[in-house]
Amino acid sequence: MIKKGKNINYASQKLKENGLVAIPTETVYGLAGNALNSDSVNKIFELKKRPKNDPLICHTNSIEKIIKFVKNMPDKAEILAKKFWPGPLTIIFEKNKIIPDITTSNLNKVAFRIPNKSITLKLLEKLPFPLAAPSANLFSYISPTKVSHIYKNFSNNIDYILDGGDCSMGIESTIISFDNDEPLIHRLGSLTTEDIEKVIGKVEFMNSKNKFPGSFHKHYAPIKKLYVGDIDKLYDKFKTKRIGLLSFNKKYDFISKKNQIILSRNSCLKEATRNLYSALYELDNMKDIDLIITSFVDNESLGKSINDRLIKSSYKYDKTEIH
Ligand code: TXA
Ligand code: MG
């Protein structure tokens, strides 16, 4: 069983020895190692079974530290950093040589963020290096928002879990880059596009034409098949199977109550975001269901990020498979 606790000194010692420590953040738990040490970073990729072409995000506790690792800080990046850090925003910069190529999957850019979690900020303050930390789950599985989720993914080879309780925001950081000061959103996340646009004006989104690292077909997915669409129609299609239901705000009469999870009774998108991954873990662990059905939420503010994760985690079925 992986050791867990709130011992920052122990976590820091293990990281200095190039070990791996699961760290809490406000978004999801990360699987952290020394971002400047290729062996530590290699261990992260191996343990997660993550392809080497999917770069890692580096975490530290101050803008001053980040400046040492990047070639320059675009004006708009600095404005966002000052406004939203510590917080659920990741910014991509041109990297200095000191960041090993393995951390950035051979790209000349590096992603940085300052997480908003006091125990982790205290740990980062103590460390003479940034932490590379992807989400602490096996590649393509659901990201962890509770310590119990980490145990579901890994049984050993992590030196410590720094226990920060449940993550308060619940889905990953929003990722942004700047090309000649032109902002581009790479991944929707816990910071809304609306909040970013209030500060720096209009932003563009990555699309399938300019494919970016980390945009895999299947992501954040439970083992059970998840179908997104109209709940009544999906129920009709699958009614001969044992159905689990992930519902935004209400229970449905036609499915056993114990096989339903509600994301937010008050239709609060913030609460739904916080509960999304833990609801997926719970449904995936239920012994008496075969598949999960759900529907999209309103496509505004955090709803866009929830819908993005639902699309990515849903089962990509062959059109002939269901009629
Ligand atoms: O909230 C979060 O961001 C969490 C917590 C632990 O901080 N971390 C996280 O990391 O979600 P991960 O590995 O699951 O997602 C990292 C993604 C990559 O898949 C890629 O899309 C993007 O960040 N990324 C990292 N470095 C990049 C780079 N140099 N250029 C472009 N994209 C990059
Ligand atoms: Mg991840």
CA distance to 15, 32, 187, 299, per residue, from 314 (Å): 35, 27, 17, 17
* pLDDT of 317 higher than 60: no
The reported pTM is 0.95
Q: Whose CA is nearest to atom 7 of ligand 1?
A: 30
188 is written with which tokens? 């929707």
User: Is the bond preceding 213 in cis, omega lying within 30 degrees of 0?
Assistant: no
Query: In this predicted model, what pLDDT tens digit does every residue of 229-276 receive, in sequence order?
Result: 999 999 999 999 999 999 999 999 999 999 999 999 999 999 999 999
Burial, 202: exposed, middle or buried (Cβ in 10 Å; 0-12, 13-18, 19+)?
exposed
* pLDDT of 211 higher than 70: no
25 lines ligand 1 (CB under 6 A): yes
* 271 close to 308: Cβ distance less than 8 angstroms: no
pLDDT at 318: 47
Percent of the chain beyond pLDDT 90?
Answer: 92
Query: In this predicted model, what pLDDT tens digit does every residue of 106-145 receive, in sequence order?
Result: 999 999 999 999 999 999 999 999 999 999 999 999 999 9
* pLDDT of 212 higher than 70: no
145 lines ligand 1 (CB under 6 A): no
Query: In this predicted model, what pLDDT tens digit does every residue of 172-192 receive, in sequence order?
Result: 999 999 998 899 999 999 999
* pLDDT of 320 higher than 70: no
Q: CB-based contacts of 298: which residues, under 8 Å, 6+ apart?
A: 269
As a whole number of Å, the CA-based R_g of the chain is 20
pLDDT band at 221 (very low <50, low <70, confident <90, very high): confident
* DSSP secondary structure of 11-41: HHHHHHTT--EEE--SSS-EEEEETT-HHHH
Nearest ligand 1 atom to alpha carbon 113:
7
134 lines ligand 1 (CB under 6 A): yes
Residue of 175, 210, 211, 312 to mutate, ligand 1, most atoms within 8 A of C-beta: 175
* 170 close to 276: Cβ distance less than 8 angstroms: yes
List, in sequence order, the alpha helices (H) in the chain.
Answer: 8-16, 38-48, 63-67, 75-84, 118-126, 147-153, 193-200, 231-238, 269-285, 302-313
Nearest ligand 1 atom to alpha carbon 190:
1
27 lines ligand 1 (CB under 6 A): yes
CB count within 10 Å of CB 234 equals 20
Whole-number average pLDDT of the chain: 94
Look up tokens 């932003």; give the residue: 203
Q: Which three-class secondary structure state does DSSP give residue 205?
A: strand
51 is written with which tokens? 């392809």
Give CA–CA dist 59/92, Å, rounded: 12
pLDDT at 145: 98
